[in-house]
Structure 1
Amino acid sequence: MMFKSTRDSAVRVSASEAILKGLSADGGLFVPESFPTLTLDDIEGLSEKSYKERAIEVLSLFLSDFSDEQLVSCVERAYSAKKFGSDSIIRIEELNDTAQMLELWHGPTCAFKDMALQILPHLLTTSAQIQHCENEIVILVATSGDTGKAALEGFCDVPGTRMIVFYPEDGVSPMQKRQMTTQEGENVAVCAIKGNFDDAQTAVKTIFVDEELRASMTENGKQFSSANSINWGRLVPQVVYYVAAYAQLVQDETIKLGDTVNVCVPTGNFGNILAAYYAKKMGVPFGKLICASNENNVLTDFIRTGTYDKNRAFHATISPSMDILISSNLERLLYDLCGEDDAQVRAWYESLAKTGTFTISDEVKEKLSEHFYGGCCDDTRTKETIREAFEEESYLCDTHTAVAVSVYEDYKTQTDDDTLTLIASTANPYKFAQSVLSAVYDELPADEYDQIDTLCRLSGLSVPKALSELKEKPVRFTGSIPRETIKETVAEMLGL
Structure 2
Amino acid sequence: MEVLYNSTRNNGIRVRASEAILKGISEDGGLFVPDHVPALDKSLKELAGMTYQEVAYEVMKLYLTDFTEEELKNCIGRAYDSKFDTESIAPLVSADKAYYLELFHGATIAFKDMALSILPHLMTTAAKKNNVTNEIVILTATSGDTGKAALAGFAGVEGTRIIVFYPKNGVSPIQEKQMVTQKGDNTYVVGIHGNFDDAQTGVKCIFADKELAKRMDGQGYQFSSANSINIGRLVPQIVYYVYAYATLLAEEKITEGEKINVVVPTGNFGNILAAFYAKNMGLPIDKLICASNDNKVLYDFFRTGVYDRNREFVLTSSPSMDILISSNLERLIYKIAESDGDKTAQLMKALGGDGKYEITEPMRALLADFYGNYASEQETAATIKALYEETGYVIDTHTAVAACVYGKYKEETKDETPTVIASTASPFKFTRSVMNAIDEKYDRMSDFELVDELSALANVAVPEAIEEIKSAPVIHDYICDKEAMQKTVEEFLKLK
Same fold (TM over 0.5): yes
| Deviation per residue, 1:347-368 (Å, 9 max, x gap) | 1011111100000000111111
Aligned-pair distance for 1:43? 2.1
Match of 1:71 in 2: 72
Match of 1:48 in 2: 49
Sequence identity, in percent?
53
Q: Given that residues 40 and 59 in structure 2 are in contact (C-alpha distance below 8 angstroms), is that contact kept between their aligned partners in structure 1?
A: no
Match of 2:324 in 1: 325
Matches within 5 A, 1:212-223: 212-223=211-222
Name the amino acid aligned to 2:294.
E
TM-score under structure 2 length normalisation: 0.98
TM-score under structure 1 length normalisation: 0.98
| Deviation per residue, 1:315-355 (Å, 9 max, x gap) | 00000000000000000011011100111101101111110
Q: Which runs of 5+ in 1 are unaligned?
A: none
| Deviation per residue, 1:123-146 (Å, 9 max, x gap) | 000000100101000000100000
Aligned-pair distance for 1:295? 0.2
Match of 1:235 in 2: 234
SS across alignment from 2:373: strand
Match of 1:5 in 2: 7
Match of 2:20 in 1: 18
The match for 1:440 among 435, 438, 441 is 438
SS across alignment from 1:470: coil
Aligned-pair distance for 1:10? 1.0
Match of 1:249 in 2: 248
Name the amino acid aligned to 2:55.
R
Match of 1:182 in 2: 181
Aligned-pair distance for 1:115? 0.2
Aligned-pair distance for 1:293? 0.4
SS across alignment from 2:59: helix
Cα distance between partner residues in 2 of 1:477 and 1:117:
21
Cα distance between partner residues in 2 of 1:95 and 1:288:
20
Match of 1:92 in 2: 92
Matches within 5 A, 1:31-46: 31-38=33-40, 42-46=43-47
SS across alignment from 1:77: helix
Matches within 5 A, 1:156-175: 156-175=155-174
Cα distance between partner residues in 1 of 2:145 and 2:47:
29
Aligned-pair distance for 1:441? 2.0
Asked if residue 372 in structure 1 is aligned to residue 396 in structure 2, the reply is no
Aligned-pair distance for 1:2? 0.8
Cα distance between partner residues in 1 of 2:439 and 2:321:
24
Aligned residue pairs total 492
Match of 2:133 in 1: 134
Aligned-pair distance for 1:380? 1.0
Match of 1:108 in 2: 107
Cα distance between partner residues in 1 of 2:125 and 2:247:
29
| Deviation per residue, 1:193-248 (Å, 9 max, x gap) | 00000000011111111111000011011100000010000110001111111111
SS across alignment from 1:471: coil
Aligned-pair distance for 1:113? 0.3
| Deviation per residue, 1:411-434 (Å, 9 max, x gap) | 000111111110000000010000
Aligned-pair distance for 1:96? 2.4
Cα distance between partner residues in 1 of 2:453 and 2:123:
41
Aligned-pair distance for 1:42? 2.2
SS across alignment from 1:73: helix
Asked if residue 429 in structure 1 is aligned to residue 427 in structure 2, the reply is yes
Name the amino acid aligned to 2:324.
L
Aligned-pair distance for 1:442? 2.9
- Aligned-residue Cα RMSD (Å) equals 0.8
Asked if residue 155 in structure 1 is aligned to residue 151 in structure 2, the reply is no
Aligned-pair distance for 1:480? 1.1
Q: Given that residues 179 and 189 in structure 2 are in contact (C-alpha distance below 8 angstroms), is that contact kept between their aligned partners in structure 1?
A: yes
Cα distance between partner residues in 1 of 2:229 and 2:220:
23
Aligned-pair distance for 1:379? 1.0
Cα distance between partner residues in 2 of 1:111 and 1:258:
30
Cα distance between partner residues in 2 of 1:209 and 1:465:
38
Aligned-pair distance for 1:35? 1.1
SS across alignment from 1:228: coil
**Farther-moved stretch of structure 1 (241-250 vs 24-33):** 241-250
SS across alignment from 2:421: strand
Aligned-pair distance for 1:95? 1.3
Matches within 5 A, 1:169-318: 169-318=168-317
